[in-house]
Amino acid sequence: RVMASKTDLTNMEIADLLALLSDKKREHLNLRFQKKLGSLSNTAKIRLVKKHIARILTVINSKKVSKNV
């Protein structure tokens, strides 16, 4: 899957971002299990999912800060 761009993420509502974050965390968990079991062929995908999680968290935090200011 293609990673959403920063502008796509900033245009999303916080509830949608939280749902996407939950999905990405679940995907990260599954990838870690697959790696441990030896069935993961593309280990770089773990790093990409972690970066996507970080981007989502950054957008969520910036939205919360701008809402409080």
Q: Report whether pLDDT(68) > 70.
A: yes
Res. 2 pLDDT band, cuts 50 70 90: low
Alpha-carbon distance of 58 to 69, in angstroms, equals 17
Contact 42, 56 (CB under 8 A): no
* Single pTM value for the model: 0.87
- For 8, what's the count of Cα atoms within 13 Å in the CB-facing half-sphere? 7
Q: What percent of the chain is modeled with pLDDT above 90? A: 80
User: Judging by beta carbons within 10 Å of its beta carbon (0-12, 13-18, 19+), is residue 49 exposed, middle or buried?
Assistant: buried
pLDDT digits (tens, 9 = 90+) for 5-29: 778 899 999 999 999 999 999 999 9
**Secondary structure of residue 38 in the 3-state scheme:** coil
Residue 43 identity: T
